[in-house]
Structures are given as C-alpha cells and as structure tokens.
Structure 1
C-alpha cells in the first residue's frame, strides 16, 4: 500500500514534485561546485607553497637572526693583495655568509626528530656568496711643464713636479645562493622542489665530495653544464647535475653536500634550517607546539603560516570561494529546504479529504505521516540525483576551462632572512606564479550531496507530516471540494 500510494502521488503531482526536486538540486549543485573549486584552490595554493619548501616538508625550524648591533661582525669584508707590477691588476674575492639566520647545532635535527608526531627531520645550511671581481689600474705620473711650474709659483725641494693622472678601480659585485643538503636524506629539503633535468643528484656516499648540483637558470646564465666545474671561494666543485625548479623559481643557485657548505662558511656542525615531515598531516599544529615547547629558542613555520603571504588573483578567488561561496551555498540550501517544506505542507492541505478518508478507514496518524515523509524523501533523492549531475557538470566546466590564476609569493623573506623558515621565506622579491585552476570532485563531496538530498527530503517531509498528523477525520470529511 505504501509504495502504491507513493507511485500514484508522485505521478499525479509531477509538477509539484519537479519544483521541489529542482529547488533542492540547485542548492546541492551549488554546494558541489563551491566545494570542488575550494578544493582546487587548496591544491593550487599547495603547489605554490610546495615550491617554497619542497615536496614532503610540512614545516621548518629556524633560529631568527640577532638584531643588528654596533658590532661589525657579519659585515662583508674583502681583502685584496697588492700583487702585480703592471699597469692593471685583476683581483677577485668571495665572501661566504650564513643566509639571514643564526645557526643551530647539528644536534638540533635529532632533537626535533624525537618529538612526538615527527616522521623525519633533516638539516640544511643556507649560504649567500658575495663575489667581487675587478681590477685596479695604476695611475700615470705626469711632470709639469716649465710654464705650469712658473704659474704655480714653483715648488720647494727641487724635485720633479707633476700629478698622477688616470688609474682607479673597476669591480663587479654579484651574489648567489648556496644550500648545503644532507645527501643521506634527500627526500626532504629544498632540492625536492626541483627535478634533475641533466646529470644526476647526489649519491649517499658523497657527503664530503666536492660536487655540486646547479639550478638550470643559473647554469644557463653562467654557461655551465654537467661535467664542468664551478669555483666557490677558491674551491673547485664538479658539476654533476642540473635541476629545474617546478615553480620556475629555484630554492638556490648552487646545491652542495652539507659538509662542504659547512666548510665554506667555517660553520662546522652548524645548520640554519631543520626540514620536518609530520607523521600525520592532521597533526601539524600539535607537532609545531611540541617543537616550540621542547626546542626553545627556535621558530617553527608551517605551510599554513605561509598561506597569508600568497597574494594575487589566487588569494582573492580563494577568499571568495571560502567565504562568499560558502555563505551563498548555505543561503540557497536554506531557501531550497524552506520552499520544499512549504510546498509539501501545501500539498498536504490540498489532500485533506484523502487523508481524512484514509484515517476513517483505519489508518493511524503515524502511517499517514510516514506516507507523506516517504513521498518527500523520494522528491529529495530525485533532487539529489539532479543536483549531483548539475554539480559534476559545473565542476567539469571549470576544469575544462582551467582559468589561470596568479599567485604572488611575497618578498618578505628577503633572501632567506625574513621571518619564515630557511626553506620557506627565501626569496628576495615577489615572484608571480601562474596556476591553472581545476575543480576536482571528491567522494566526500558526493557523500555530502547525498546527505543534503536526504536532509532536504526529511525537512520537507517533516513539514508535511506535522500538517498531516493534525488532521481529524471528521473535519476532513466535512469539507467539500
């Protein structure tokens, strides 16, 4: 009897059922599209942030640089020998400096690795090399002519009189970044944000070897290639590989084994950054708190901390999707549920004689209510199917169009010297990255759509069931339609 009435009423009231289902479908489709776009925004932002700290790294641990004082320590100094006796003398000098942070003891890596929730930790040393190349040109002494001496009133001492003309100095100053990488744990750290496109990466037995991996842009600029060599602070390193950054902006120009970077900087057993991978991505906040509590004097930076530093159209669209889109979905769903409930209640009012007759024949109020709720639930499920179809179509359209968004990585880190981690805030200037937006639909989103469809049907059925339960057979049968 239940299914007989259900089938008959849905067929007889097709227009009303279609209106209820369409309203619910619109709200559900909007939820699917907004949820999918938000997921796409999150993934796009993740790609941008991943280019900052490398694949697999969830957070970095650093020690902020000491405030500048009156001491000259750390100020670049260059010493040139007075060599050569010709008219010009070429000079070259490198200054290797720790990049922006105070150093940490290498033992900090083990200390961080022992914290609860840490899956792995690896140390790195970030350096900046200031390179000065140029030459001094000796001036030429020119003796005054006789009339010049007379005009000048003559000079004492009876020696030759004249002046030095020409001479001077011409120097070119440039800098590049060097990152010391733990070759035994290359699954973490800055090199993971790049792919080896020529040659190879470090072997685990090359901890003290004089080998280097170059960023492709830097290698092209300096006309270097695999098999060649690069000299850093009078030490020659064999170029074993060239890496291309996924984001187009590399973490460093030159990558060296950690021990070699420490030797260059005179920082034995020192690091600037600990790259950390959490055992559970949902526990990153807890891991951060544990490290800050148990490893005092350090700064822990997560990818979530960096989200606010990403600006541009990606940030604007993400804000719209997460705030305006969310509230718009809630308003549309609430309106759809209300309309469905009111239409169902109105339909019950038009079926007063029918329900009154059924009650007179022995139907209990609960049975009448279940009949109304069942019909409304089917309407909700129909709306859910329609809404899922519309939502999938909308998400597919967004993915097919793939609008390009721009993400600007703020330059607050300043060459690694900002308030972020060594692998995080390492750019000297803002860098724009173009990201193609997609709208992936997850199983969770589909499940949410089904739940909303059922909820919409139950809300509508609740309105109608409450109205039907209040009917009395005698009152219903007295009405003439």
Structure 2
C-alpha cells in the first residue's frame, strides 16, 4: 500500500518533485566538484614536493651558507691557457664546480641523524653546480699605415729631406667567442637509493647504480638533459677533465626534476673537492604523526642545522597553484555550504507548501483511520525519493564537472620560495642562470573523485530528503479531519 500510494503521488506531482530534486542536485554537484578539485590541488602540491624531496622523504637537514670572508667573493673563476705556442683560434674550455644548497656538512652527521629517536633512515647527498665555459680567442693582426710622400725615410731631429711619416701600428680583427652552460650534479648514496635526489625518478633507459659502484666513474642523467644534449645509455660525459659513462636515463615520477646529472656520492665529493662532506641529509621518520617531534629532536641534538619538513616546504609554494588551492579551500567550501543550506531550505519549503495544498487529501485519510505517524511516514517517504533522485542527478553532474576539469587539465604554476634556513630547499639544481627555472614548475590540474566524496554526496541527498520530509511530515501530522471538511466547497 505504501509503495503504490507513493508512486501515484509522485507521478501526480512530477514538476514539484523535479524542482526539489534539481535544487538538491545542484548543491550536491557543487560539493563534489569542490572536493574533487581540492583533492587535485593536494595531489599537485604533493607532486611538487616529491619532485624536490624524493619519494618517501619526510624532512631534510641542511646548514645555512655563511658569507664569504676576506676578499673572496665566492663567485666563479675561470683560467685559460695563454701559451704562445697555441695555434690561432685554438679551442679553450674550463669547468667551474661549486657546491650548492647550503654550507657543507660532515658526512658523519648522516649517521648521527640516523641515530636520533624516531628516524627510520637517513642518507646524505651532495649538490653541485657545474658552469662550463668553452670557445676560442682569435688573435688580432697589427697593421701600420704610412702617411705623406717621399722616400719613406724617417726624418732626423732636424727635419731635413725625409718628408714621409709612419703612424703607430693598429690591431685589426681578433676577439673571443665563448658559450656558457650551467647544469646541476647530485651525488647519490648508491647503497640506499630509496631516499635522496634519485628516489623521485625511475630509470626508463639503461640501469641505475649498483651498491658496488660507490666510487665508479658512471652517471645517470635526467631525461630532459639527455634529450637536450643527445645523450643515451652508453654515451660518455666529461666533467672537469673526468669522463663518466652514462649507464641510465632517469625520468621524474612527477613534475620536472631540477637535477641534470647523478653521480655516486664519492665521485661527486671528489669532483667538488668536498671529501667526506654532504650538503643535504634526507630523513624518513618511523611515524608520519611524529615528524614535528623528530624535527625538534634533530635541531636540539645537532646544533647549527636547519630541519625542513614537507609541511614547511608546502608553506613556501606560491603561484597559481597556491591561489587556486586557497580559493578551493576557503571560497569553494563556504560556497558549497551556502548552496547546500539554500537547497535544503528550498526543498523543505516546497515540501511544506505541497503539504498545504493537500489538506483535503490528508484530512480525508485521517478521517478514514490513518494515524498521524502513517501520514508523516508517507510525506517523509516522498521526500526521501526526491532526495535520492536529487543525489543521483547531483552525482552525475559532479562527475561530469570533475571529468571536464581533468580533460581540460588547466596548467598551474608552482613557485618554491626559500624556507629561511639553509640554502635552498628547492632541491638539487639552481645555479647561475637556472635559479628561476628550477624553482618554478608547471602542474596539470586533475579532479579525482574518491569513493568518500560519493559517499558524502549520498549522505547529503539522504539528509536533504529527511530535512524536507521532517518539515512536511510535521505539518501534515497536525492536520485534522475537520480541515478536510472545511476545504470542501
């Protein structure tokens, strides 16, 4: 009886039921869209942090670089061979290798950090910047010009008959043409590659380092750097007079890597004249809920260091990614709440208004013996069907909106600012001419819809139906059979 009457009444009031369902659908669709976009923002930010930190890294330990002392500026210095025996237009080349990312730390600190309570693993890495200058000098030619006429002799002090004169020689032609190329190098602890600068990339060509290659002259290069210089597995790379064999090409799992070349840590230390030193220590905590505690312990027990967590780094992310994330988090969620409240209110008012127009119907049913609870149940049942219909429409609209965002994949920029600590938590890279590029990334936004979001939408649909049904049922339960008699004309 309940189902038959419910079906008949909803069929009679299709327009009113559709209006209520559409109102709820719009609110639910907006909630799904905002939640999915917010999830996409979180994923995009995680991609930025993983590409800089390396997968699985909870924090890094660095030390702020001190200002140069004395007359040293700390800038690059290049020296070229100026031997007189060199041929004209001889090629000249010089590499300048400098540590990047903060003041060097003793490698022994890696073991000390690993021994702190709450630390699951710690590995050291050395970040270098190589500036290569190559080109050639062209020697100019000295040419003299003769003025006047006569026999070209030089006149003596007295003048005499030597009327000709010769001007001072002038250098014609000559000059220099040099190319400057800057790229980043990261020293990797090959015995533990689950942390560190190479952890956020996968080898797509060739192989990665083995634990036995702690001091081997081998290298892994990033996909972008390999493409730029036409490198492949098996090619050779020469840095500051040392030739390295490229054994693999690394492709970042997310975003663009800021490191061009990866070397075994000992080789990087030799290249950078930084024996037993690292510039960054990557740390993984035993419990993700205790990261702040581990950070405080490291800073307390190892003085002079700066510990930066992923949360600290996330606070420095700016650009359109940060702006869109703030809008989705604040404006979007408050707008969703406002629309939902309005949708629930409209559904309740429309249901209550519909009950008012059914005075004769409900009054007659009560006169026939229907108790108030049965009338209330009938109204709530109709509202629940309207709510579930609105939920289904809302989920469909929300999924369509999320799919559209993912299909369009709008590009967002993420800029990494300094953390105020050590020297650049922007990860390996940077250096002359690359600082801006290494700290700015472009991320494609997606809008994933989780099962939790779908469950939330269903819950909102049920809640909307219950609220509307409760208000309409309360009004219907207060009607008396006499009301139906008074409404008869």
Taking structure 1 as the reference length, what is the TM-score of the superposition?
0.80
2:312 is the alignment partner of 1:311: no
- Match in the other structure for 2:427: 422
Stretch moving more, 50-59 or 29-38: 50-59
d(CA) in 2 for partners of 1:293 and 1:378? 61
2:381 is the alignment partner of 1:381: no
CA shift in 2, pair 1:434/1:221, >3 Å: closer
- Match in the other structure for 2:454: 446
d(CA) in 1 for partners of 2:130 and 2:456? 54
Q: Report if aligned partners of 2:380, 2:468 keep a CA contact under 8 Å in 1.
A: yes
CA shift in 2, pair 1:31/1:411, >3 Å: closer
Residue 119 (structure 1) shift:
4.7
Residue 342 (structure 1) shift:
0.5
SS of the residue corresponding to residue 202 of structure 1 reads coil
d(CA) in 2 for partners of 1:397 and 1:55? 29
Residue 93 (structure 1) shift:
4.3
2:250 is the alignment partner of 1:243: yes
Q: Report if aligned partners of 1:411, 1:430 keep a CA contact under 8 Å in 2.
A: no
d(CA) in 2 for partners of 1:477 and 1:381? 35
Residues 388-424 of structure 1, C-alpha deviation per residue, up to 9 Å, x if partnerless?
Answer: 223223333444xx2242333437569x985424349
Describe how 1:20-419 pairs up with structure 2 within 5 A. Answer: 20-68=20-68, 70=70, 72=72, 74-78=74-78, 85-86=85-86, 92-113=93-114, 118-133=119-134, 173-219=180-226, 221-222=228-229, 224-245=231-252, 249-277=256-284, 291-292=298-299, 295-296=302-303, 297-302=305-310, 305-306=313-314, 309-312=317-320, 314=321, 317-357=324-364, 359=366, 365-399=372-406, 402-410=407-415, 419=424
RMSD: 4.2
Residue 51 (structure 1) shift:
3.2
d(CA) in 1 for partners of 2:308 and 2:468? 50
SS of the residue corresponding to residue 410 of structure 1 reads strand
2:468 is the alignment partner of 1:457: no
Q: Report if aligned partners of 2:49, 2:310 keep a CA contact under 8 Å in 1.
A: no
d(CA) in 2 for partners of 1:233 and 1:424? 18
Stretch moving more, 51-60 or 96-105: 51-60
Stretch moving more, 266-275 or 285-294: 285-294
Residue 198 (structure 1) shift:
3.4
d(CA) in 2 for partners of 1:170 and 1:13? 85
CA shift in 2, pair 1:396/1:373, >3 Å: same
Stretch moving more, 63-72 or 16-25: 63-72
Stretch moving more, 451-460 or 187-196: 187-196
Q: Report if aligned partners of 2:95, 2:130 keep a CA contact under 8 Å in 1.
A: yes
Q: Report if aligned partners of 2:221, 2:246 keep a CA contact under 8 Å in 1.
A: yes
Q: Report if aligned partners of 1:273, 1:421 keep a CA contact under 8 Å in 2.
A: no
Residues 188-208 of structure 1, C-alpha deviation per residue, up to 9 Å, x if partnerless?
Answer: 322244443432211111111
CA shift in 2, pair 1:461/1:240, >3 Å: same
Residue 380 (structure 1) shift:
1.1
State the number of aligned residues. Answer: 470
d(CA) in 2 for partners of 1:220 and 1:384? 50
- Match in the other structure for 1:467: 475
SS of the residue corresponding to residue 60 of structure 1 reads strand
Q: Report if aligned partners of 1:24, 1:383 keep a CA contact under 8 Å in 2.
A: yes
Q: Report if aligned partners of 1:413, 1:425 keep a CA contact under 8 Å in 2.
A: no
SS of the residue corresponding to residue 436 of structure 2 reads coil
CA shift in 2, pair 1:65/1:391, >3 Å: same
Q: Report if aligned partners of 2:316, 2:418 keep a CA contact under 8 Å in 1.
A: no
Taking structure 2 as the reference length, what is the TM-score of the superposition?
0.78
d(CA) in 2 for partners of 1:228 and 1:387? 56
Q: Report if aligned partners of 2:412, 2:445 keep a CA contact under 8 Å in 1.
A: no
Unaligned runs of 5+ in 2: 147-151, 160-167
CA shift in 2, pair 1:202/1:100, >3 Å: same
d(CA) in 2 for partners of 1:283 and 1:424? 30
Residue 69 (structure 1) shift:
5.2
Q: Report if aligned partners of 1:212, 1:254 keep a CA contact under 8 Å in 2.
A: yes
Residues 324-377 of structure 1, C-alpha deviation per residue, up to 9 Å, x if partnerless?
Answer: 433332222111101110111122223334444555666554454344333322
Residue 271 (structure 1) shift:
1.3
Q: Report if aligned partners of 2:28, 2:457 keep a CA contact under 8 Å in 1.
A: yes
SS of the residue corresponding to residue 258 of structure 2 reads coil
SS of the residue corresponding to residue 441 of structure 1 reads coil
Residues 170-200 of structure 1, C-alpha deviation per residue, up to 9 Å, x if partnerless?
Answer: 7655433211011122233222444434322
Stretch moving more, 125-134 or 17-26: 125-134
Residue 210 (structure 1) shift:
1.7
- Match in the other structure for 2:149: none
d(CA) in 1 for partners of 2:205 and 2:82? 42
